[in-house]
């Protein structure tokens, strides 16, 4: 069963319960963020970069440390083109299943991989999106303690199950609004279709007057503010 129709309901419930997470930006501004999880991938990520470059759009990428280590040149290309970089854990294990020590190690190993590939210092890469969006209040408390910024999403077209490019585009268009944070995937699950998806999606959103910004910009001007 595909869950895409239910995600907007889930997040309307979760957002006020977990206000320390970034769920989106200013509802009075037509700024939106295009984000990609599970990369970098040696084939799919360069395809995404080519489309973003064509439209001069800066996106945000939440990386797995293992994938960075496998494709450091691709990671460097993403960083060199000015896209925002965040953490998605080292190997996509669910954060609530990890001990605090293992969670800290997963995030720090990913920061180290990014530093080695892109020369970005750990303090420059502190946005964290939990794999599958799964977290607990204890997880968020650890993020705060370790000076990470928890990032979620507001538009989830469930592209990782590959329902078809047109279906993914339609789901985004139906859900997008001012301040939306759209999540797509450029990794092994869903990455096969991602370039074709954004080739259709980006022009439609531009015609609607949306401006694409990074997650960092949403932190700066969003309705959800970090506590530190």
Residues labelled as active-site residues: 37, 185
Structure tokens, 138: 């204890």
State the pairing for strand pair 211-213/31-39.
parallel
Name the maximum alpha-carbon separation found in the chain. 47
Match 């990428």 to its residue by tokens.
61
Q: Which residues of 109-126 are buried (b: 16+ CB within 10 A; e: fewer)?
A: bbbebbeebbebeeeebb
Q: What is the dihedral of CA 149, 155, 158, 164, to 10 degrees?
A: -140
Match 């280590």 to its residue by tokens.
69
Structure tokens, 218: 């949403």
- Residues 6 or more apart from 129 whose CB is under 8 A from it? 35, 37, 62, 86, 87, 88, 150, 151, 152, 153, 183
- With left for phi above 0 and alpha for psi between -120 and 50, is residue 82 left, alpha or beta? left
């Amino acid at each position: 069963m595909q869950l895409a129709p239910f995600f907007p309901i889930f997040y309307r419930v979760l957002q006020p319960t977990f206000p320390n997470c970034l769920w989106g930006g200013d509802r009075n501004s037509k700024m939106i963020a295009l984000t990609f999880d599970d990369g970098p991938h040696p084939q799919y990520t360069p395809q995404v970069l080519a489309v973003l470059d064509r439209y001069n759009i800066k996106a945000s990428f939440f990386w797995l440390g293992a994938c960075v280590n496998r494709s450091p040149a691709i990671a460097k290309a993403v960083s060199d083109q000015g896209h925002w970089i965040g953490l998605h854990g080292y190997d996509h294990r669910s954060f609530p299943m990890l001990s605090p020590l293992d969670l800290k190690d997963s995030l720090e190993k990913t920061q180290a991989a990014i530093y080695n590939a892109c020369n970005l210092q750990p303090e420059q890469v502190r946005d964290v999106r939990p794999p599958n969006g799964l977290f607990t209040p204890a997880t968020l408390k650890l993020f705060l303690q370790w000076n990470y910024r928890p990032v979620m999403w507001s538009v989830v077209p469930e592209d990782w199950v590959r329902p078809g490019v047109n279906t993914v585009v339609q789901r985004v268009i139906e859900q997008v609004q001012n301040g939306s944070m759209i999540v797509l995937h450029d990794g092994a699950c869903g990455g096969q279709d991602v370039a074709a998806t954004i080739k259709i999606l980006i022009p439609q959103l531009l015609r609607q007057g949306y401006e694409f910004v990074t997650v960092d910009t949403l932190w700066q001007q969003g309705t959800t503010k970090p506590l530190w």
